[in-house]
Amino acid sequence: MSVRNPLRLLDLAGMSLLRDEASTITALKDLPTELFPPVFMEAFYGRRSETLKAMVQAWPFVRLPLGGLMKMPHLGTLQAVLDGLDILLAQKDHPRRCRLRVLDLRNTSQDFWRMWSGYRVHGCSSSLMAQVAEDRSRAEQPRAPLEVFIELHLKERTLDGFLTYLIRWVEQRKASIHLCCKKLRILSFPMENIMKVLSMVQLDCIQEVQVNCTWHLSTLAVFAPLLGQMNKVQRLLLSNIHMSALGGQEQQHVVQITSQFLRLHHLRDLHLESHSFLEGCLDQMLRCLTNPLDNLAITHCLLSDSDLNHLSQCPNISQLKGLDLSGITLTYSSPELLPVLLEKVAATLQELYLEQCGIMDSHLETILPPLSCCSQLTFFSLRGNLISMAVMGKLLRHTSGLPRLSQELYPVPQESYSSQRILQPGRLAQCRAELFEILRVLGRPRIIWISSSPCLHCGDNTFSHPQPIVYR
């Protein structure tokens, strides 16, 4: 009789230790390093508070990735770990064996527990390798305040019990604890609570910020000085910021917000979505960018000709890898602005989104020459625009020489609709056959997707999951 997945001697030893909590605590000073993670896991899932408290004080690794065990945060286990840290912090001389510098409460680092618990890990993940290198660097530095890493998703009206307890604990120990967060996401959270939480966080640790709140411009202006202190931010997403008519006070708010970009020296990805205040003010923000961007998304906003002109002249977009102008009506602008913009980014551009831009045949034809020069382009989406079969054929011919282009999303040709803008399956099948023939004549293996969704003008959503047109 065979036994599937038998327990290892290491597992049995850990389980044996935990039968007597007092003996476990006594044995910690002689416990082999490789036994610490599996014994800790057993104590964690068994909610053995005293054992957890003692193990924290003897933890032989630089990082304790507690968040990797906490699918659902349990306040009791967190309290036990923090109680252990309190005892550790109160000691003038740390135990010789303890190397703990970081308590990681993020839902990451499962590889650490798998590795030490005997599960097969097929190679080390890049994140684990980076973390090991980071921890090795920490271990070589003079002892500094303990770092506690969390992910902040502020999306409720009030703070939950877990975060409330942690914030209070950090507040009482600010001299010896640094609360760090690399990703900050704010969804419908009162500004008073935001200020309270962020007053406890090391703002210069934050690398990614997402604000997806229906805020008035004045509220964003209150938040802006905090954003300016996040000087390590690499990725910033702001959406749904609204304002009344642009008066003197509103103009002052715009200046307060855009001036903070001067402090974001590491910003690489900028995403601005559904902003009513950008029209006529985009140049103020662009002037405050201090370094070249890798990705820029300005979507579902109103932009004037002068905004697009300033965008095409901005020196910090000349190295863009990704450009998204979806939902920006480009048909009212001067016809040369979009081609000029594409010429500026043609050498580096890898992804281009022009969805729901009101683009029709005449507009598309003007961008075909610069588009055909985007030699690094891998992804192009033109969904939600009104394009004829004739111009789609020209588009396929102009892009056939792009060596890296592998994902192409195009709108259903106009000829596939009736005069009442109803999609006709028979006409669509004929258009697909004609497009396949164009691909065959061009002779290059290629996959294109034809979709009628989203379509800003006709609202049709009956063809959201199309089959690709494949030529191999």
Q: What is the spatial distance between Cα 50 and Cα 271, in angstroms, rounded to a whole number?
A: 47
The conformational region for residue 384 under phi > 0 = left, psi -120 to 50 = alpha, else beta, is left
Greatest alpha-carbon span in the chain:
83
According to the model, what pLDDT value does residue 329 have? 87
Q: What are the 10-residue block averages of pLDDT along the chain, 472 residues in total? A: 51 61 80 87 87 92 89 78 93 80 85 69 54 58 80 81 90 92 91 92 96 88 95 95 70 90 96 85 92 96 89 94 93 82 97 95 95 97 95 97 96 93 92 95 94 54 68 87
Mutual angle of helices 75-90 and 49-57, in 10-degree steps: 40
Let me know: does 326 contact 354? Beta carbons within 8 Å. Answer: yes
Q: What is the spatial distance between Cα 385 and Cα 362, in angstroms, rounded to a whole number?
A: 12
Q: Is 368 helix (H, G, I), strand (E, B) or coil?
A: helix
Cite the beta strand spans of 1-115 per DSSP E: 63-64, 102-104
Take residue 411 and report the two structure tokens written for it: 């709108």
According to the model, what pLDDT value does residue 237 have? 96
According to the model, what pLDDT value does residue 135 have? 60
Strands 446-451 and 469-471 turn out to be: antiparallel
Q: Is 182 helix (H, G, I), strand (E, B) or coil?
A: strand
Count CB-CB contacts under 10 A for residue 249: 12
Residue 394, class by beta-carbon neighbours within 10 Å (0-12 exposed, 13-18 middle, 19+ buried)? middle
Of 219, 231, 335, 233, the C-alpha closest to 277 is: 219
Residue 256, class by beta-carbon neighbours within 10 Å (0-12 exposed, 13-18 middle, 19+ buried)? middle
According to the model, what pLDDT value does residue 120 have? 47
Task: Give residue for tokens 């210069």.
Answer: 204
Task: Give residue for tokens 């002109």.
Answer: 309
pTM above threshold 0.85 = yes
Take residue 177 and report the two structure tokens written for it: 């604890």
What pLDDT digit, counting tens, does each position of 374-390 carry? 999 999 999 999 999 99
Cite the beta strand spans of 91-194 per DSSP E: 102-104, 146-154, 177-186
**Euclidean distance between the first and the last CA atom of the chain, given in angstroms as a whole number:** 52
What pLDDT digit, counting tens, does each position of 220-253 carry? 999 999 999 999 999 999 998 876 655 678 888 8
According to the model, what pLDDT value does residue 132 have? 58
According to the model, what pLDDT value does residue 455 have? 46
Residues with Cβ within 8 Å of 184's Cβ and at least 6 positions away in sequence, in order, are 152, 154, 206, 208, 209, 210, 230
Q: What is the spatial distance between Cα 252 and Cα 277, in angstroms, rounded to a whole number?
A: 12
Of 140, 144, 162, 141, the C-alpha closest to 153 is: 162
According to the model, what pLDDT value does residue 223 have? 94
